[in-house]
A and B are shown apart, each in its own frame.
Chain A
Amino acid sequence: MNKDQDKIIQWIREICHHDEPELVLTENSELLEEGLLDSMKVVQLVSLLEDMLGRPLPSDEVTAENFESPKRITAMIRRLRETSGNPGSSRS
């Protein structure tokens, strides 16, 4: 599961690279509190997460609470994988 988290952190780093080339990210980085994600970055991240999950994120999951930190995003993905009953989709 940490593989997911590493990947998510890597994506966020890439998405933010243009504005914050020196960005240091950890699993507990406060993505919204620190103003790292703006609306266009959220849109990019959501679409990457949907690719990872292999299906659209449910509307009620696309919330500030779930995107607070890489850890929270990973937890959401894990939860959604479990409910989909398709753990195989994490293999890359």
Chain B
Amino acid sequence: MDRSSSLLLHSPLLLLEPGQEQKDAVAWPAGSINYDQLRGSVFRIAARLKKSGIGRGCRVAVCLPKSVEAVQTIFGVLASGAAYVPLAVSSPARHVHRQVQDAQVSLLITTPKIRSLLASAFPAEDLPPSIAVSGLDTGHGLDPWIGKAPAADPPSVGPDDQAAILYTSGTSGEPKGVMLSHRNILSFVEWAVMRFELDPEDRFTSHAPFHFDLSTLDLFASLRVGASVFLLSEKMALFPPAVAQAVRTERCSIWYSVPTALRMLLEHGRLESGGLPSLRIIFFAGEVFPLACLRKLMGLVPHPRYVNLYGPTETNVCTYHVLPGLPGQEQTEIPIGLPCEHLAVGLRGEDGRTPAAGQAGEIWVTGPSVMRGYWRRQELTQAVRFGGRGDSYLTGDFGTIGTDGRFYFRGRRDRQVKIRGHRVELSEIEAVSASCPGAGQAAVVGAGLQSLSPRLVAFVVPALGGTLSATALRRFCAARLPSYAVPSSFLVRSELPLLSNGKLDWARLAEWAARIQDE
């Protein structure tokens, strides 16, 4: 683990092993580039940026679809000494605008379309200089911009310099930029490499978009061990059969995504029993995996190790649980597991002390992967620290420690609502609704919480081949929950709306719920 102390995220490119040059570094459905080509383009991008005066202490926004050019750009920005600020291409122009303004970027690298959308919506003086990249997915899309720039000298950047700002949506709507240093990301990467014996023979899938913290494993762990990464584009990810096909033909060995993506693959990917034979590890994180769905997936694709990872963007992964086997029918949840070895994780009661055994508390984390802070939000940063430590984070998530010594997730602080004076944990109602026979996934939102008639609305997706009615759901929940916690409406839907990072779109669900009249 000492080796991470002086390494930077792009350092492995400076230290290619003999024979590694010709090996695939990045692959996508239409092609691939080897390590030599990746190194060449990355250091030419760095030189081009340097010529524009961009380096240490600067930020460059990268708003590109998942493509080899996006990967080259991210590494090129890092090699210049600057930090990359990945932005979702699917965001409306005003979001992109707000984020580039907030991040005070020196340059925006994007597509011609997004550039012209921004230019038509905002005055030029409100926008950073930008580069429009066309010809994506060729490996040469950046050539017209970088030209024949010679490789630059490595900048004097240290592991504690800023490497990335990842924006989290934040329930209040204000963008929160999570500042991560090279060391923050690498400490997680080194842990994952050691814990799961990731090696040069692995082929990582890159499913999560680059503005989502899951992507740090795909990008930086694959480079760290000299493996290759296969890019699943946003478009391809909409078509589960194509995703399954690509994982098979590309012989991918590592998968890391939100549970929803795996559920899509299970229900619409047309997997056969024992399908996806090349996968050796399936990591999932970001949300609770509905257990019925996980059981089905593990039954159909039994050979990989299944690993539940937990951690907010601010800490990256902080606990992990390797599933020992198919969860039994009597089991109602899987743990988020044990603290990652490079971090300390614990619980804190409302009085600030460790809660008694079995009692819930807020999950806290300290250690080298904890963010340097929220970008230009010092007060907000102070509010999530404790004990005067700059490497501490109070997650806002509740957890318990089971008799097995493992952590269990008990919901978000902001997912507790009050209904008729009772404190209700929405994720508990979801767990009960989703365990109704025929149900696959459930999402519960409050509506009119500030009004005189606050109510709960449950959106439930049937399990594949399952049938489900609102009456059956109501009956099932009424037998298991106190009356105030039984949703007043149950809506059966074929799918739930998702955000660009694959997580549930709670804002849209809340909107839908607000439109529903009491039944």
Contact = CB atoms under 8 A, between A and B. Distances in A.
B242 A63 contact: yes
Nearest to B499: A38
Nearest to A62: B241
Given A43-B268, A43-B494, A59-B270, A37 B241 contact: no
A35 interface: yes
| Majority secondary structure, A binding face | helix
Nearest to B493: A40
B264 A39 contact: yes
A58 B64 CA distance: 31
Most chain B beta carbons < 10 A, residue from A35, A59, A67:
A59
A42 B239 CA distance: 8
B495 interface: yes
A39 B245 contact: no
Most chain B beta carbons < 10 A, residue from A32, A37, A44, A62:
A62
Given A59-B245, A62-B239, 20 more contacts: A32-B235, A32-B238, A35-B90, A39-B237, A39-B498, A40-B494, A42-B238, A42-B239, A43-B494, A43-B495, A46-B268, A59-B244, A60-B241, A62-B240, A63-B239, A63-B241, A64-B233, A64-B239, A64-B242, A67-B239
Contacts of B236: 63-64
A43 B440 CA distance: 16
B10 to A, nearest CB: 30
B497 interface: yes
A3 B361 CA distance: 60
B438 to A, nearest CB: 18
Contacts, number: 48
Interface size class of A (residues with CB under 8 A): 10 to 19
A92 B90 CA distance: 37
Contact of B495 (A32, A37, A39, A59): A39
Interface string B267-282: 0101000000000000
B151 interface: no
Contacts of B498: 38-40
B273 to A, nearest CB: 15
A67 B240 CA distance: 13
A60 B90 CA distance: 26
Interface in A27-75: 32, 35, 37-40, 42-44, 46, 59-60, 62-64, 67
Contact of B241 (A35, A40, A59): A59
B510 interface: no
B297 interface: no
A38 B261 CA distance: 12
